[in-house]
Amino acid sequence: MMDALEKELWQAAVKVRQNAYTPYSRFKVGAAVLAASGKIYTGCNIENASYGLTCCAERNAIFAAVCAGERELKLLCVTAEGELPVAPCGACRQVIAEFAIPKIIMTNLQGSAKTMTAEELLPYSFGAASME
């Protein structure tokens, strides 16, 4: 069960998902991230005819928060249509790890939710400490 804050984030993700630009996959994804300031930033997936240039909803939400000046991100919610909650791709897991987002809520449009930490999503990850 999602608490009130998680539900607010999920609703923001469901809403922004409507703006997904997906002429190739037709698979729409929405994401919302809560920053330490208390503000919520959203993102949807944006595809490209050069398929590899596609950017996922999660990264667009995280990057929107960072572009607004946020550095500390508390909670990320991602949503898509499906029987099971949607799982972030590998590239997004690396970006989630970069900002050490403590809690990631994966959901579907019915509100089924699965929660994991960044470490659970990407164990033994490459990061700043790897270069020390």
Q: Which residues are catalytic?
A: 58
**Amino acid identity for residue 64 in this structure:** A
CA distance 89 to 112: 19
Q: Which x/- pattern over 79-118 shows residues binding ligand THU (rule: CB under 6 A)?
A: -------x-xx--x--------------------------
User: Beta-carbon neighbour count of residue 65 at 10 Å?
Assistant: 26
Smallest gap from Cβ 121 to ligand THU, in A, equals 11
> Is residue 126 close enough to count as binding ligand THU by CB under 6 A?
no
Nearest C-alpha neighbor of 30 from the set 47, 48, 43, 46: 43
Residues of this chain that bind ligand THU (CB under 6 A) = 22, 25, 27, 29, 45, 47, 54, 56-58, 78, 86, 88-89, 92
